[in-house]
Amino acid sequence: MADGILDLARAVSAAALATDGVYSLGIGRYAEAATYEGGEKVSGVVVKPDEVEVHIVASYPLAKPIPELAQLIRDRVAAEAGERRTSVVVEDIEVASEDL
Partner 1 sequence: MRIFNRIVVVLLLVGLAVLGVYTVVYSFEAFGHQLSDLSTTLQGFTSGFEGFVGDVENGNLPILTIALLVAIALLGLVLLIMELKPPRPRRVRMQRGTYIVPDVVRGEVESAAEETPNVLGSTTKVWAKRRPGALVNLQADVRRGEDANALKSELRERVQQHLAKTGVPLGRLKLKLVEADPRETKARVQ
Residues that bind partner 1 (CB under 8 A): 29-30, 62, 65-68, 70, 74, 85-93
Alpha helices in the chain (DSSP H): 5-17, 66-81
- By beta-carbon proximity to partner 1, the closer residue of 38 and 47 is 47
Q: What is the smallest separation between the CB atom of 77 and partner 1, expressed in angstroms?
A: 11
| 2 φ, ψ (degrees, to nearest 5) | -70, 155
Q: What is the smallest separation between the CB atom of 19 and partner 1, expressed in angstroms?
A: 13
Q: What is the smallest separation between the CB atom of 69 and partner 1, expressed in angstroms?
A: 8
- By beta-carbon proximity to partner 1, the closer residue of 3 and 100 is 100
User: Can you tell me the distance from the alpha carbon of 11 to that of 23, in angstroms, rounded to the nearest whole number?
Assistant: 17
Q: For residue 17, what are the CA distances in angstroms to 44, 45, 56, 73?
A: 10, 11, 9, 9
